[in-house]
Amino acid sequence: MSWEQRIARELDDRRAASALRSRQVVGQGAGRWLSADGKRYLNFSSNDYLGLSQHPAVIAAWQKGAARFGVGSGGSGHVSGYTCAHQQLEEMLAGWLGYSRALLFISGFAANQAVIAALAGKDDRIIADRLSHASLLEAASLSPAQLRRFHHNDPLHVRTLLAKPLRGQQLVVTEGIFSMDGDSAPLADIHRVAHEAGAWLMVDDAHGIAVSGHEGRGSCDVQQVQPDLLIVTFGKGVGISGAAVLCSDMVAEYLLQFARHLIYSTSMPPAQAMALQSALEVIRSDEGQQQREKLQQHIALFRRGADALSVVMTDSASAIQPLIVGDNARALRMAGALREQGCWVTAIRPPTVPEGTARLRLTLTAAHSAEDITQLLEVLHAIGE
């Protein structure tokens, strides 16, 4: 079979399963409104949970940084791309989240891959929640370490897997808030089980940082846990992009030597680092707390109104509110019907989620109004009928 034949077969299989992914050009994709094809939609697919991508102070900080540093960093942080703006952001993150060090990465995907690739050896074991993000599971499966997946949010299964004999070290991996189900991990219980076994805990809190905890410190703050490795990303609640690894001094020095995604990638633009500092200032302020409270009100309003929907909902108290449809084609039809009524919603299908769990992944933000949530519920009820 030729390259062309193999590729054509794979694409045909995706089409037949109503699982073919596509992109659509939008004029504006973050914030309350999304524009596409000359139309405006209420946006229920953005991860910009606090609306910070549109915040005037954050935009002004990026513009000021671009005027000072230019629009690029010029190289890897190990060569010429580590500026005072990057250093200040790392120090700000470490102090805010209670760690000795923070290291910046260009994306959460890169951060997760870098940490696991640098740490995991052939005698080690990685124990990951079976619903962990693709970046975590892919890095673990490609590493020389043994990968074992534990039942979703099940600390007892973690304990069982940790008890099996092993020559090397063990790393337990989970998310703070799961990106497709919106539910929270029992971090305190998993942390206790991991440390009882002498294992390290790594938490990816992409969807918890900025939107939960005191001053937006995230899921770990809510449960009073400090994992050995904390990954925070800036493309969701922080409203921009990029990521950081929070860790000890020794681990930071190790990653600076062995984390290839860090060593061989051009660093984020200094202007972006300045915008991120501005975003963190908003997140930690009274304004940030007001936005978090507003988001929680929207979540509660949606959950109350969604009880009568003829779809399965997950146990989510987060901004991520999935409606489990099951069938791929039905999920696509429902997403299309919602867009016809002015609500932009995305259908998520396998392999992103398990077979038979195709869903509408709704995301609520502080940028929405209560009237927006009510309108979404009315459209969902009409579609259901």
Reply yes or no on whether the pLDDT at 22 is more than 90: no
Burial 90-125 (b: 16+ CB within 10 A, else e): bebbbebbebebbbbbbbbbbbbbbbbbbbbeeebb
Domain with CATH 3.90.1150.10 in the chain: 26-49+286-384
* Cα separation, 322 vs 311, whole angstroms: 10
Q: Which CATH class is domain 56-284?
A: alpha beta
Domain with CATH 3.40.640.10 in the chain: 56-284
Reply yes or no on whether the pLDDT at 99 is more than 90: yes
CATH architecture of 26-49+286-384: Alpha-Beta Complex (3.90)
Whole-number average pLDDT of the chain: 95
- Residue 191 backbone dihedrals phi, psi, to 5 degrees: -60, -45
- Residues 144 and 126 sit within 8 Å (Cβ to Cβ): no
pLDDT in tens, 291-308: 999 999 999 999 999 888
Q: Across residues 101-105, what is the average pLDDT?
A: 98
Q: Which two tokens stand for residue 177?
A: 């808030």
pLDDT in tens, 143-154: 999 999 999 999
Sheet arrangement for strand 358-363: 312-313, 320-326, 358-363, 346-348
Reply yes or no on whether the pLDDT at 30 is more than 80: yes
pLDDT of residue 138: 95
Q: Across residues 3-26, what is the average pLDDT?
A: 90
Residues in the chain: 385
Q: In which band, very low, low, confident or very high, does the pLDDT at 311 lie, cut at 50, 70 and 90?
A: confident
Q: What is the 3-state secondary structure (H, E, C) of the chain?
A: CCHHHHHHHHHHHHHHCCCCCCCCCCCECCCCEEEECCEEEEECCCCCCCCHHHCHHHHHHHHHHHHHHCCCCCCECCCCCCCHHHHHHHHHHHHHHCCCEEEEECCHHHHHHHHHHHHCCCCCEEEEECCCCHHHHHHHHHCCCEEEEECCCCHHHHHHHHCCCCCCCEEEEEECECCCCCCECCHHHHHHHHHHCCCEEEEECCCCCCCCCHHHCCHHHHCCCCCCEEEEECCCCCCCCCEEEEECHHHHHHHHHHCHHHHCCECCCHHHHHHHHHHHHHHHCHHHHHHHHHHHHHHHHHHHHHCCCCCEECCCCCCEEEEEEECHHHHHHHHHHHHHCCEECEEECCCCCCCCCEEEEEECCCCCCHHHHHHHHHHHHHHHC
The percentage of residues in the chain with a pLDDT greater than 90, rounded to a whole number, is 86
CA–CA distance from 153 to each of 215, 312, 350 (Å)? 26, 19, 21
* Cα separation, 229 vs 244, whole angstroms: 10
Q: In which band, very low, low, confident or very high, does the pLDDT at 385 lie, cut at 50, 70 and 90?
A: low
pLDDT of residue 310: 75
Q: Across residues 250-266, what is the average pLDDT?
A: 96
- Residues 172 and 199 sit within 8 Å (Cβ to Cβ): yes
Sheet arrangement for strand 33-36: 33-36, 39-43, 343-344
* Cα separation, 271 vs 65, whole angstroms: 4
**Residue 328 CB: number of other CB atoms within 10 A?**
19
pLDDT of residue 31: 86
Omega prior to 351 cis, within 30 of 0: yes
pLDDT of residue 26: 86
Catalytic residues: 47, 133, 175, 179, 204, 207, 236
Reply yes or no on whether the pLDDT at 1 is more than 80: yes
pLDDT in tens, 31-77: 899 999 889 999 999 999 999 999 999 999 999 999 999 999 999 99
Reply yes or no on whether the pLDDT at 384 is more than 80: no
Q: Taking each helix axis from N to C terminus, what angle separates 370-384 and 328-340, rounded to the nearest 10 degrees?
A: 130
Q: Across residues 200-219, what is the average pLDDT?
A: 98
Q: Across residues 107-136, what is the average pLDDT?
A: 96
β-pairing verdict for 243-247 and 229-233: antiparallel
Reply yes or no on whether the pLDDT at 349 is more than 80: yes
